[in-house]
Structure 1
């Protein structure tokens, strides 16, 4: 997880489009030129933020993950005190993301169903496969480890790893738009998972220049605080 992001061959499972097509922009944006400009600005910010995150020591990253986990526990105690029958989706950490697998494992010991996002069809919403610590894993799309099963779950609570973020819940991810597509698809079906962005406080930006396709998260949790 300490590799140089500029040399990485793959990104987070939900978000690789920007690595494949650096000039990617969402065609639903009102002004195509503005969308291209924003995409280029985001790419530069993404590179800088990933480099800064990768430069952190393993100890600093572990401490940040522990602090984030504590704040997640506090948040869930407030918004979902009874997790019986609930599905919580996490993520498989890459590119120096906070590693919260220990937190997901703790949820499984409480009887909570946990899942990981999977790209089964490029440029389509994510699916979520059940996961637990003993789950066999296989290389999925873009060579990322995913649960070795075909079962699908619908998350009630969905974690989204952040590269950058701004107040109001807007997330800068890896550029593929998969979480936005997934949230939009859920809402179209009348479902609205609680979406929680998790990342570093130092990744806060004044703005990410939200575009029409960007969907604000319900909460953002960092090692230093919680933001709506």
Structure 2
């Protein structure tokens, strides 16, 4: 939230370009994306491009505290409702297992560990999946920490796409 809105918007565009370069073809893939909250990079425009290129979007839904997230299919224009922390989630949608997960970082370290808002939802979700999706953390360089002091249950992400602005 310390970054001005226009700086965050420019950073989101750069992050989106890097996601495209790192992921490549999305056709036929389910991409787990998040609904932006508290100044996180707003990748909704990039998400629209994913569907335009033949990918399917899925948004995370908190079903219960202390449990894994459920990713539900969603397309632009489909109804959303307020979920936990008033973050928008699909009203309908089908539970799915993403091939790719893009997760926001509040903090991150060189080892690929991320901090979110303390619920442990992404770690629990990744641990519970029968196959691991390709995972990307996205955020801002000012969130880098020497370490997040990972615990036994923390799962590092495959790649970090961090904007240096």
| TM-score after normalising by structure 2 | 0.95
- Decide which of 63, 77, 81 is 2:10's aligned counterpart: 63
> Is 1:72 aligned with 2:15?
no
Number of residue-to-residue matches in the alignment: 165
Structure number with the higher strand fraction is 2
CA drift at 1:135: 1.2
- Decide which of 113, 125, 135 is 1:195's aligned counterpart: 135
Moved over 6 A (4+): none
- Decide which of 157, 160, 163 is 1:220's aligned counterpart: 160
CA drift at 1:141: 2.7
- Residue aligning to 2:128: 185
- Decide which of 56, 59, 73 is 1:130's aligned counterpart: 73
- Decide which of 86, 92, 106 is 1:143's aligned counterpart: 86
Cα RMSD (Å): 1.4
CA–CA separation in structure 2 for the residues paired with 1:207 and 1:55: 21
Q: Helix, strand or coil for the counterpart of 1:199?
A: strand
CA drift at 1:150: 4.5
| TM-score after normalising by structure 1 | 0.70
Alignment of 1:8-87 (within 5 A): 54-77=1-24, 82-87=25-30
Q: What are the ranges of 5 or more consecutive residues in structure 1 without an aligned counterpart?
A: 1-53
CA drift at 1:140: 1.8
> Is 1:173 aligned with 2:116?
yes
Contact 1:71-1:223 within 8 A present in 2 as well: no
Contact 2:26-2:50 within 8 A present in 1 as well: no
Contact 1:180-1:214 within 8 A present in 2 as well: yes
CA–CA separation in structure 1 for the residues paired with 2:43 and 2:86: 20
Structure number with the higher helix fraction is 1
Higher relative contact order (CA 8 A, sep 6+): 1
